[in-house]
Amino acid sequence: MTLDFTYQASAARIVFGNGASGDVVKWVEALDCRRALVLSTPHQAADAQALSNRLGPLSVGTFTEATMHTPVDVTERAVARAAELGVDCVVSLGGGSTTGLGKAMAYRTDIQQIVIPTTYAGSEVTPILGQTENGVKTTVRSPKITPEVVIYDPQLTLGLPVGMSVTSGLNAIAHAAEGLYAPDRNPITTMMSIDGIRALKEALPALIDSPRDGAAREKALYGAWLCGTVLGQISMSLHHKICHTLGGSFDTPHAETHSIMLPHTIGFNASAVPELMTPISDIFGGATPGQALYDFAKSIGSPMALKDFGLSEADLDRAADIATRNPYSNPRPIDRTAIRALLQDAWSGTRPPY
Ligand code: NAD
């Protein structure tokens, strides 16, 4: 890489530490807010209520309908409820789905957001919102979408089930791996990519052995922050395009899709820019980056085949069409035949050739 770059730091204030979510009152007050609405999925409603209780008079209640892929009708209900209650900030407690709801509200109303992530998705540090209406998922970017404060408290991830920890962690690695060859990468994002991938590579196997290992949880969340920051600052390519296609048009689950596709897409691109992908080989070993990522994912119990998630072999033709229809930047030229072959390997769970 030549030293010729633009770097824009994220506007989000990052607070990291075991027990850090205990200071949530301080951060609501720091934003000069007095009427917070706590957001969560139905699954984490009890945790949201406990957080609302901790906020005491600073909370006006909870909204616990956050849903994967951020459906617009849910957002509209949340915005209406916030207006009724005179809310001046949201506190989003959960994974990318809950963060997505808070971001969707901020996109419409510019409301301030505090996010307390409990997965490794990385959405909390990006200015990107994906939302769904009438079965179509679209993506928008805006500075309004970036949360004001992100509180990373590893203790809140101790109960993240092992299966979700694995797929969510691989989802985070995917952001950083694509960051290594992004056309707008810079020395800072490359450093963050390498350190983020390394942290997750070390933490994920430790979590499988011992899901409540505090040091491993801390390292995994630290890696997730770095990888998410990379996602928010530079462009993504083939891997994210294919995962967006599969999730948006075939409703495959988000983190699992990233986990399955990762060795195939990164391997495919690594063959065009091997010098940029040496960090993957340094961190994972292996003959090639794609094979090394495949072996790692398999060793930590990741799902390996798209066919296990409701996708038929015939769907692969349409997925290849959608994913190659519009041009986008990618280190290796996008060729429909090659992408169809790559999808076939991911569908059947075959170790990639590159
Ligand atoms: P999720 O937020 O949908 O969470 C999955 C389930 O796990 C939910 O029921 C949730 O309540 C539960 N959960 C979360 N944390 C838990 C914990 N610690 N313990 C037990 N259960 C827990 O899953 P996700 O993978 O974090 O997020 C996926 C969504 O995020 C997708 O919609 C995706 O598009 C979006 N996303 C957006 C960006 C972006 O920058 N815009 C980046 C990454 C992901």
Mean pLDDT of 169-180: 98
Q: Whose CA is nearest to atom 29 of ligand 1?
A: 96
Residue 53's pLDDT band (cuts 50, 70, 90): very high
Mean of all residue pLDDT scores within the chain: 96
To which residue do tokens 């820019």 refer? 273
pLDDT digits (tens, 9 = 90+) for 213-254: 999 999 999 999 999 999 999 999 999 999 999 998 898 999
- The CA–CA distances, whole Å, from 110 to 15, 103, 117, 143, 192 equal 22, 9, 20, 10, 29
DSSP secondary-structure letter at 327?
Answer: -
Q: Whose CA is nearest to atom 15 of ligand 1?
A: 118
Task: Calculate how far, in angstroms, residue 117's C-alpha sits from the geometric centre of ligand 1.
Answer: 9
Mean pLDDT of 256-285: 97
With b for 16 or more beta-carbon neighbours within 10 A and e for fewer, the 321-348 pattern comes to ebbbeeeeebbbebeeeebbbbbebbbe
Which atom of ligand 1 has the smallest separation from the CA of 255? 25
Q: What is the pLDDT of residue 1?
A: 52
Residues making up the chain, counted from first to last: 354
Q: What is the pLDDT of residue 326?
A: 87
- pTM of the full structure: 0.97
Helices then strands, counting H and E runs in the chain, come out as: 13, 8
Task: Calculate how far, in angstroms, residue 168's C-alpha sits from the geometric centre of ligand 1.
Answer: 8
User: Do the beta carbons of residue 290 and residue 260 sit within 8 Å?
Assistant: no
Which atom of ligand 1 has the smallest separation from the CA of 130? 41
Q: What is the pLDDT of residue 249?
A: 86
Mean pLDDT of 148-157: 98
- Ligand 1 pocket, CB under 6 A: 41, 43-44, 68-69, 94-98, 100, 118-119, 121-123, 126, 128-130, 157, 159-160, 164, 168, 231, 254-255
CA distance 47 to 93: 8
DSSP secondary-structure letter at 326?
Answer: S
pLDDT at 263 over 60: yes
